[in-house]
Amino acid sequence: MDMFHTKGAALLVEAILSLKNEEECRAFLEDVMTGKEIQDCGQRLLVAQLLSRQMVYSQIAEVTGASSATISRVNRCYIYGAGGYRTVLPRLSTSASNEGQVKEDSTT
């Protein structure tokens, strides 16, 4: 199923691509998503990053607070999905995602 076939979804992709810097990105995400949605998306990204580092589910759950269902879903997307995680993870700074900060930032 192509979830990007609607005008709204196409507009969302265009809006994300139009962002110029971190400040604009933070402001846009704050306006378009709830705090919980931002936290959930961030948690999934952290889970994907830890999976890419070959960390086991139990450690990921302990570090991020993610449920085994969330970890499993992210793992399926990481392995069999559209390739989004595999595209973005190598581009991310690793300094903001060390395990200590992950634990402190975890809200779920």
Q: Where are the domains of the chain?
A: 1-32, 34-105
The Cα 51–Cα 48 span in angstroms is 5
pTM equals 0.83
Looking at residue 14, its pLDDT comes to 97
The Cα 107–Cα 64 span in angstroms is 8
Looking at residue 94, its pLDDT comes to 61
Segment 61-80, tens digit of pLDDT: 999 999 999 999 999 999 99
Which residue stretches of the chain have pLDDT < 70?
1, 94-108
